[in-house]
Amino acid sequence: MTDEMTTLDEVRPEDQERKNDNVLDVQDLKVWFELRRLGFGHAGFVHAVDGVSFKLKRGEAIAIVGESGCGKSSLMKTILGLNEITDGAIFYEDMNLNEMDGKTLRWYRSTQIGYVQQDPYGALPPFMTIQRIIEEPLIVGGMKDKEQRLDRVRKVMNEVRLIPVDDYLSKFPHQISGGQQQRVVIARALIQEPEIIVADEPVSMLDASVRVEVLKLMRGLQEEHNISFIYITHDLSTVRYFSEYIFVMYAGLIAEKAKQRDLLTNPKHPYTYALLTATSEPEYENALGFKEVPPGEPPSLVKPPQGCRFHPRCKWAIAGVCDTEDPPNFTIEEGHEVACWLYDERYETPEFAS
């Protein structure tokens, strides 16, 4: 192991201890991927994230929701420091990710932000024991004392309910269940005591019987350690167990932001309404009785439609407005914003939101 790999603490900025309320500040973020055709060169850009802004408070849990292709995974990978930023900025504390040097960015990715993958079996090296998988970030981070590492591993395994710990330390991933594998992934994300954890569809690969159990486990860990969580999902039926705020993404943009209960019971954007329409809800008291699903498919992110990106699928679209002008964010009430022309005072509010 090189000296560089054993001195991550040395790159901690001197002013990093000066904590502020917002652990993460995303400002008008754009992430575009260039398309190239063999022999023809540049063929345009995929506008995966096209102007997203939000703030994540310390100890807060937010959910970023949207159907496949909306840009939520590209946003997640950029926050993790894995994608290049095309425009805009992401600030961790007061540090701009775009301005971090190599060592500082590695410190951020290795110790300040954790990642819970969607597929636990695919995320775990099959040739490593559970102990080695969980302690690997400590080894990479420069913790040389084996006993100290083992103590930390035991503590985290107890926290994620992999008990008795001694029964799991020497096992390999294929020897435990899917739910237990996801607990190992969560333990690995927790081992460096990060400020932020990004969870990418963390229960979509699990049996229905263990989904709520795992979500409640993560919620308890978040509250106990005051960790900021970003929960990425397409399933609105699970967010009530985890998040305080929900951000709904569509075609690279945030269509609606609201507190969890407000959004689930009082959606304002036609796309949010559509997502709730398509959500399977077994509990009668939580169902809102939605019946309609909008026609069509999500737009191309290579050539997004002019104006509101949802207007080709929206039965409330206003001709000459929704199809020509980008909607601003309208504040419905404190903490509830929606990017939709229907909330301009000149137009009539749709019946589902009245």
| pLDDT tens digit sequence for 39-50 | 677 888 999 999
Q: How many CB atoms lie within 10 A of CB 213?
A: 15
Q: What is the pLDDT of residue 197?
A: 95
Q: Cα(234)–Cα(216) distance, rounded to whole angstroms?
A: 18
The band of 107, judged by pLDDT with boundaries at 50, 70 and 90, is very high
299 upstream amide cis, omega within 30 of 0? no
In the predicted model, what is the mean pLDDT of residues 146-174?
A: 95
pLDDT beyond 70 at 140: yes
pLDDT of residue 283: 47
Superfamily of domain 1-23+60-82+100-243 in the CATH hierarchy: P-loop containing nucleotide triphosphate hydrolases (3.40.50.300)
Burial of 339 (C-beta count, 10 Å sphere; 0-12/13-18/19+): buried
> Residue 148: which pLDDT band, with cuts at 50, 70 and 90?
very high
Lowest mean pLDDT among 1-15, 61-75, 245-259, 294-308: 1-15
Tens-digit pLDDT profile for residues 237-296? 788 877 899 999 999 999 999 999 999 989 999 999 888 877 655 443 444 454 566 777
Classify each residue of 36-54 as buried b or exposed e, where b means 16 or more C-beta atoms within 10 Å of its C-beta.
eeeeeeeeebbbbbbebeb
The pLDDT of residue 286 is: 47
CB 72 within 8 A of CB 247: no
Tokens of 141: 């981070």
pLDDT digits (tens, 9 = 90+) for 329-344: 999 999 999 999 999 9
Specify the 3-state DSSP secondary structure of 202: coil
Q: Residue 5: which region, alpha, beta or left (left: phi > 0; alpha: psi -120 to 50)? A: alpha
Domain boundaries, the chain: 1-23+60-82+100-243, 269-354
Residue at token pair 């304002």: 268
For 195, counting Cβ atoms within 10 Å of its Cβ (0-12 exposed, 13-18 middle, 19+ buried), the class is buried
Which two three-digit tokens encode residue 312?
């080709």
- pLDDT of res. 353: 66
Buried b (16+ CB within 10 A) or exposed e, 115-143: bbbbebeebbeeeebbbebbbebbebbbb
